[in-house]
Chains A and B, each alone.
Chain A
Amino acid sequence: MFYDLNIPITTTISNSGSKKGKGKQPQATSSPHFTAAPLSAIDAHLDLLIHLGYTVICFNQTVNKKIDPKIHVNVLNEMLDKLKPRPGILFLKRLSIILDEDSEKGFGLINANTSYFNSYDILSLVPTNQATFALACLTHTLPSPLTTHVISIPLTLPRFPFYLKHTLIRTAIKNGAVFEINYVGALGGESDSVLLEAGAAETNGGNAKRNWWAAARELVRVTKGKGLIVSGGVVAQTDMRAPRDVANLITLLGLSQDAAHAACTSVPKSLILRAQTRKTYRAVFSEPVLVIPEGYSAPTQLPPPAVSDTFTASAPIPSASSHEAVPGQKKRPLEDDAVESNHKQNTSATASAQINQSGDKKKKRKKNKD
Chain B
Amino acid sequence: MVRFKNRWFLVEFIPIPSDTKILSTPPIPLSRSSTEPIQLNLDGKAIYSALKQSVLSNYGDVGWGAVGLSLSVKYFSPTTNVCIIRVGRDQHKIVWGALTLLNGIESAKFIPNVVHVSGTMKHVQLAAIAHNRTVIARYRAMADAFGKIFS
Contact = CB atoms under 8 A, between A and B. Distances in A.
Partners in one complex: yes
Interface in B1-28: 14, 16, 19-28
Contacts of A45: 22
Contacts of B27: 40, 44
A251 B97 CA distance: 9
B97 A41 contact: no
B-side interface size class: 20 to 34
A122 B87 CA distance: 41
B101 interface: yes
Contacts of A38: 23-25
Contacts of B99: 245
A44 B21 contact: no
B30 interface: yes
A248 B93 contact: yes
Interface in A18-54: 20, 37-38, 40-45, 47-48, 51-52
Contacts of B111: 48, 52, 237-238, 240-241
Nearest to A244: B114
Interface in B100-118: 100-101, 103-104, 109-115
A245 to B, nearest CB: 4
Given A235-B21, A236-B20, A47 B96 contact: no
B151 interface: no
B41 interface: no
A37 B114 contact: no
Interface string A1-16: 0000001111000000
A297 B100 CA distance: 67
Given A242-B113, A248-B93, A237 B103 contact: no
Contacts of B79: none
B97 A44 contact: no
Interface centre among A7, A38, A238 (most CB of B within 10 A): A238
B16 A238 contact: yes
A237 B20 contact: yes
A238 B100 contact: no
A44 B30 contact: yes
Interface string A233-267: 01111111110111011011000000000000000
A186 interface: yes
A51 B14 contact: yes
Given A44-B27, A47-B31, A236 B21 contact: yes
B19 A236 contact: yes
Q: Most A CB atoms within 10 A — which of B21, B104, B114?
A: B21
A180 interface: no
A240 B15 CA distance: 12
Interface of B: 14, 16, 19-28, 30-31, 93, 96-97, 99-101, 103-104, 109-115, 138
Given A38-B24, A44-B27, 8 more contacts: A40-B31, A47-B30, A48-B14, A235-B22, A238-B20, A239-B103, A245-B113, A248-B96
